[in-house]
Homo-oligomer: A and B are copies of this chain.
Amino acid sequence: MSKEKKQTPVNTPGVLTRKERHSAILRYMTMGVNNFNYETQQGPSVVWAFSKVLRKIYPKDDEYVEALDNHFKYFNTTTAMANIILGATLAMEEKDGIKSKDAVQSLKTSLMGPFAGIGDTIIWVLFPTIMGSIAGYMAVQGNPTGAIAWILFDMLLFWARIKLFDLGYNSGVKLITSLGERLSIFTEATSVMGLTVVGTLIATVVKVYTPLTFMTGKVKLAIQSGILDKIMPALLPALVAYMVYTLLGKKSWTPTKVILLIVVISLVGAFTGLLGVQPQ
């Protein structure tokens, strides 16, 4: 691949230079989940990282704020995989400006779930398990080779993650060019996939567990495994998700209030023994 080709991966002349784009994704990669919050999770990280390139795309203040608000919203996925998504959305915003707002949001919300599934498995579970077992075993024998190899692999991964961003950016442009006005249908369809994953997240990521038991003489019945799990697995997480979703839909309830409510419930639950940490 020639240097020139690399610098102009799309036909439409972009507002941003390759360097500006890379500086944006490097900002995101640096911040990562370092300002993670329970409400919008990686949202602020994306805003912080892309605020400069977005400024260039949206010279008008109003549009800029609108675009920022869009990215302030909930976003969360494996950071390595996020690069693909953010590459694509940057391409979309660069080409269509504020008109792409809904499509951008839709692409983010629908892809982040499935991408987290595959990304977390590889990046946070498989890779550290492999490297950790090898390097860990070497280490207990006083040998640091595995640890050094790990850092080298991380560097390789760092490079690959920038490539993933480029991939997303180029695909993003292709996507909008080929889909054209059908983009809204496309994003609606991807939302369906995203929502399917949301159903899974409720069942697996959200953890609510009660250690309560009925006990009398030699008879003991655990509320969680003996009753709740028999009615429906992940019953409590489903109820909590429904409750939170409903509360968030009410004018009087802000996400912050909901978070505080959950913290209070958790503390009270821990104090009274109504809630507990699920034994592995």
Contacts and interface: CB of A to CB of B under 8 A. Distances in A.
A137 B219 contact: yes
A259 interface: no
Interface in A132-181: 133-134, 136-138, 141, 146
B231 A130 contact: no
Contacts of A122: 231
A12 interface: no
A218 B141 CA distance: 12
Given A121-B231, A230-B121, A231-B121, A214 B130 contact: yes
Interface size class of A (residues with CB under 8 A): 20 to 34
Contacts of A279: none
A182 B196 CA distance: 28
Nearest to A133: B219
A146 B230 CA distance: 23
B221 A133 contact: yes
Contact of A137 (B129, B133, B216): B216
A126 interface: yes
Interface in A205-252: 214, 216-219, 221, 226-227, 230-231
A201 interface: no
A264 interface: no
Contacts of A121: 230-231
A118 interface: yes
Nearest to A145: B216
A120 to B, nearest CB: 11
B218 A137 contact: yes
B231 A134 contact: no
Nearest to A118: B231
Nearest to A136: B219
A249 to B, nearest CB: 19
B118 A219 contact: no
Nearest to A216: B134
Contacts of A137: 216-219
12 contacts: A118-B231, A121-B231, A125-B230, A126-B231, A129-B221, A129-B226, A130-B214, A130-B227, A133-B221, A137-B218, A138-B216, A138-B217
Interface of A: 118, 121-122, 125-126, 129-130, 133-134, 136-138, 141, 146, 214, 216-219, 221, 226-227, 230-231
Given A121-B231, A130-B227, 13 more contacts: A118-B231, A126-B226, A126-B227, A126-B230, A126-B231, A129-B226, A130-B214, A133-B216, A133-B221, A137-B216, A137-B218, A137-B219, A138-B216
